[in-house]
Amino acid sequence: MALRKGHERPDGTILLWFRLVRVGDMTRIRTQWTERAPRGRILTAILVSSLLVASAYADAVLVKLQAATVQAWDRYYQWADQRVQRQLADPARFLIQDRLSDKERKEVRAKLEKGEIVQQRVTTDVIPPGEKFTVPHGEIHHAWGSVLIPRIKLPDLLKFLQDYDHHAGKFADVERSRLISRQGDRFMIYYRLSRTKAFVSATYNTEQEAVYTTISPKQVFSKSIASRIAELENPGTPKEKERPAGEDHGFLWRLVSWWRFEETDNGVIVECESASLSRDVPAILAWMPLIGRYIRSTPLESLRSVLTSIQSQFPAKK
C-alpha cells in the first residue's frame, strides 16, 4: 500500500497519485491519477486519499478480541444497565430527556415537535466515581437519540416494532430479519446487518434478545442485547462464511440497546440508548486528519439510521 502526493501545476491544479492494495476478499484499488483543482480542493484530495488508505488498512488487518477487552465491556455494561434500572424506578422521569435541565428539555421537545431527531453522546453518570476505567485494545461507543412519531398510539407502534419477520427493507442496516422464538414479551431475533463506512463494508449474522416491560399504560421499556455477532467473509457470494467469533475486523464486538416509549397527546416519543464495543483506532491511522473522528462517528450514524427508519414508517399526516 502506498500514497504519494503529486505536484501543483502553475495553473493551480494538483495531481494526486495513489495506489491502494487490499488483501483477502477485499477490493483492489488500482494505481491511478486523480486531478483536483484549484488550490482550495487540495485538502479535500488529501483527505479522500487518507480515507482510502485508512479503509484499505482497516480491511486488510484482522484483529483478535482480547479477554481484557471483554472484561472491560462487561464492567461497563453492568454499570450502564444498573444506571438505566435506577432511572426506571422513577416513572415521573421515565425518559432520558426528563433528566435534562429545563432549558435543554424544552429545546429537545421543540426539535422533536418539528420532526427532527435529537442525538447526544453519553459521557457521564455511567462509570462510578473513583473507578479507574480503561478499555484495552478497544473502544466503547455510547449514545442516545430520540424521535417523535406523531399522531400514533403506543400499541400501534409496538405492533410494528415487534413484527421482526418483516424488518428487512424497513430498517436501513437490516438485510434479513426473522423471529426465532417468542415467550410472552421476550423475543429472540435473527438479524443480518450490513454497514458501510469510510469505503469499508461489514456484514454480520446476529442473534438478539429483546424484552419488553410495561411501566404504565403509556410507558413501555425494552432492552435488546446481541447474544451472537458473527462477521461474514465474502458476503453475498458462494464463498460466504462466518469469521470465527472475535477474530475479525473488530468493527462490532458487542451491542446493547435500551428503548423507552412514551405516549403523549402528540404521539409517541421514542428514545434509544445504545452502547457498543469495537476495536480501538489503530495507531497507524491516528495521524491522518479526521480519521479517528470519522471511524468513531459510525455508532451515532447507525443510531440515527434506526430512528429515521422508524420515523419513515409513520409519516406525519397533514
Grouped pLDDT means (10 residues each) for the chain, 318 residues: 43 44 42 48 62 57 93 98 95 94 96 96 90 94 97 96 97 96 98 81 95 97 98 95 93 96 97 95 61 68 94 82
Q: Which residue spans within 99-253 are E strands per DSSP? A: 118-121, 138-150, 174-183, 186-197, 200-216, 219-233, 241-242, 247-248
H helices within 154-220, ranges in order?
154-161
Residue 69 zone, left/alpha/beta (φ > 0; ψ -120 to 50; rest) = alpha
Whether 53 contacts 60, CB under 8 Å = no
The H or E element that residue 75 is part of is helix 67-88
The predicted structure's pLDDT at residue 19: 45
pLDDT of amino acid 169: 92
Strand partners, 2: 19
β-sheet bridge partners, residue 16: 5, 34
User: Is-contact 66 246, C-beta < 8 A?
Assistant: no
Q: Report pLDDT for 299.
A: 83
Element housing 275 (H / E): strand 267-279
Which stretch of DSSP H or E encloses residue 104? Answer: helix 102-113
Q: How far apart are CA 74 and CA 67, in angstroms?
A: 11
The pLDDT value given to residue 100: 94
User: How crowded is the C-beta side of 248, counted as CA atoms within 13 Å?
Assistant: 23
| Confidence at residue 40, expressed as pLDDT on a 0 to 100 scale | 57
